[in-house]
Amino acid sequence: MNRIFSGVQPTGNLHLGNYLGAIKNWVSLQKDFECIFCIVDLHAITIKQDPKELENNTLEVTAAYLASGIDPEKTIIFNQSAVSAHTELTWLLSCFTPIGWLNRMTQFKEKAGKKKDNAVLGLYSYPVLMASDILAYKATHVPVGEDQKQHLELSRDIAGAFNQAYSTDLFPIPEPQIFGEATRVMSLRNGKNKMSKSDESDYSRINITDTKDLINLKIQKAKTDPYPLPSEKKELENRPEAENLLGIYSALKDEKFDDVMKEMSGKDFSSFKKLLSELTIDKIEPISKKMNDYLKNKDYLKKILEEGKKKANDISSKNLLEIKKTIGLLII
Ligand code: AMP
Ligand code: TRP
């Protein structure tokens, strides 16, 4: 049986990268698969969060899921901290995770910066919590943006290490699903950096909640180069900004990158940016409007999360019991 699990951190500034790299793809997956989409608030607290903002951001991501087309009738939506199996399993799996594997994680190195000794343990063990999210549900497929590839490989290794230790096939080895034309959306200010919630410049990203005027302005100001758009992919080498904007366009338009290149070949950036602005507004504005409507009814959002919590608990508590028995922990 196929089961899909993925999550987004409630850390504010949901942007086009989150939408195109993750949430947009999830919407189509729920037609064919059993899906579980989580708001990973325990991952969020690996960096300092303001309590009030964290709570609000959790509801905001819930609203973004619904506004993007995630259907709570079909799909389980819940916040991670509401289901205790995630943290319990993290301990169990940490006993199967060699420190050397964690030392390779580039996200930890980036986030911890130079003062590694001051970094908190949670930031270091972040990928074990992520493996637990997935494995608590025995998920088989995990749709994410490209930046999560390394963490997913670690989840696969941890599942394999557990299975091998007990000669079992208890955990399916989860498959990454990294697809779409924008698996890595880059900053609008520098095509070599990932579009990110934490970039100091708000002009580096398009937030799902940006107004029409702001989207227009951000795209107008986006960094480009002085050349017209090329017709061949190889001519995009060393033109990361052009490649990024074309990728965003094709992902939003649901068209193949190569077809968009053909369509735009020879155009200068000012006319391409106009088309890109119109398309972005066309796709993002309805989501942002719906999100604001949902946010007016926080009780409804909480009700969705409560229902999701129950369903998530049912699945994960059974799995946790099986895992504990396998390890030999006495069940009373
Ligand atoms: P996060 O905001 O780190 O919780 O990420 C949530 C989801 O969005 C994950 O699946 C990420 O891989 C994806 N994501 C985040 N930033 C980008 C980006 N710039 N391009 C594509 N996908 C992204
Ligand atoms: N670490 C992921 C990110 O920052 C979010 C995440 C947490 C996740 N748990 C997950 C994604 C489980 C997929 C599956 O993007």
The whole-angstrom distance between residue 78's C-alpha and the CA centroid of its chain comes to: 15
pLDDT for position 96: 98
Atom 18 (ligand 1) nearest CA: 17
In-domain check, residue 193: no
What number of helices (H) and strands (E) belong to the chain? Answer: 14, 5
Task: Decide if 114 is catalytic.
Answer: no
Q: Which domain holds residue 247?
A: 202-293
Which atom of ligand 2 is found nearest the CA of 22? 15
- The CATH number assigned to the domain holding 115 equals 3.40.50.620
Q: Assess whether 24 and 154 both reside in one domain.
A: yes
pLDDT for position 156: 98
pLDDT for position 216: 98
Q: Assess whether 255 and 132 both reside in one domain.
A: no
In-domain check, residue 182: no
Question: What would the two tokens of residue 87 be?
Answer: 């943290």
CA distance 244 to 282: 19
Catalytic option among 197, 212, 267, 290: 197
Q: Assess whether 70 and 93 both reside in one domain.
A: yes
Q: Assess whether 112 and 248 both reside in one domain.
A: no
Atom 12 (ligand 1) nearest CA: 145
Q: Which residues of 292-331 are buried (b: 16+ CB within 10 A; e: fewer)?
A: eebbeeeeebeebbeebbeebbebbeebbeebeeeeeeee
As to burial, measured by CB atoms within 10 angstroms (0-12 exposed, 13-18 middle, 19+ buried), residue 30 is middle
Q: What is the DSSP track for 279-329?
A: HHHHHHHHHHHHHHHHHT-HHHHHHHHHHHHHHHHHHHHHHHHHHHHHHTP
Cβ of 137 closer than 6 Å to ligand 2, yes or no, is no
* 3-state class (DSSP) for residue 179: coil
CA distance 155 to 160: 9
Q: Assess whether 135 and 25 both reside in one domain.
A: yes
Q: Assess whether 273 and 231 both reside in one domain.
A: yes
Q: Assess whether 162 and 239 both reside in one domain.
A: no
Cβ of 70 closer than 6 Å to ligand 2, yes or no, is no
Question: What would the two tokens of residue 235 be?
Answer: 């001519």
Catalytic option among 24, 48, 109, 111: 111
In-domain check, residue 187: no
Task: Decide if 256 is catalytic.
Answer: no
The whole-angstrom distance between residue 164's C-alpha and the CA centroid of its chain comes to: 29
Give the distance (Å) from ligand 1 centre to CA of residue 88. Answer: 25
Split into its structural domains, the chain has a count of 2
CA distance 330 to 110: 40
In-domain check, residue 59: yes
Q: Assess whether 59 and 76 both reside in one domain.
A: yes
In-domain check, residue 185: no
In-domain check, residue 156: yes
Task: Decide if 24 is catalytic.
Answer: no
* Strands 76-79 and 175-177, sheet pairing: unpaired
- CB–CB of 76/312 below 8 Å? yes
Ligand positioned closest to the Cα atom of 136: 2
Q: Give residues with Cβ within 8 angstroms of 294, minimum separation 6.
A: 62, 63, 66, 67, 300, 301
- The CATH number assigned to the domain holding 248 equals 1.10.240.10
Give the distance (Å) from ligand 1 centre to CA of residue 252. Answer: 16
Q: Assess whether 222 and 307 both reside in one domain.
A: no
In-domain check, residue 81: yes
In-domain check, residue 197: no
Rounded to 10 degrees, what is the CA torsion of 325, 176, 17, 90? 20
Q: Assess whether 278 and 307 both reside in one domain.
A: no
Q: Assess whether 120 and 136 both reside in one domain.
A: yes
**Taking CB atoms and a 6 Å cutoff, what residues make up the pocket around ligand 1?**
8-9, 17-18, 21-22, 144-145, 147-148, 183-185, 194-195, 197
Catalytic option among 24, 109, 149, 194: 194
Which atom of ligand 1 is found nearest the CA of 145? 12
Q: Average pLDDT of each block of 10 consecutive residues along the chain (332 residues)?
A: 96 95 96 96 97 98 98 98 98 98 96 91 98 99 97 98 98 96 96 96 97 97 97 94 98 96 96 98 97 98 98 98 98 96
pLDDT for position 270: 96
Give the type of residue at 182. Answer: A
Q: Assess whether 163 and 288 both reside in one domain.
A: no
Give the type of residue at 183. Answer: T
pLDDT for position 55: 98
CA distance 279 to 98: 47
Q: What is the DSSP track for 181-250?
A: S-SSPBPSS-TTSBP-TT-S-GGG--BTT--HHHHHHHHHHS---SSPPPSSGGGGTT-HHHHHHHHHHH
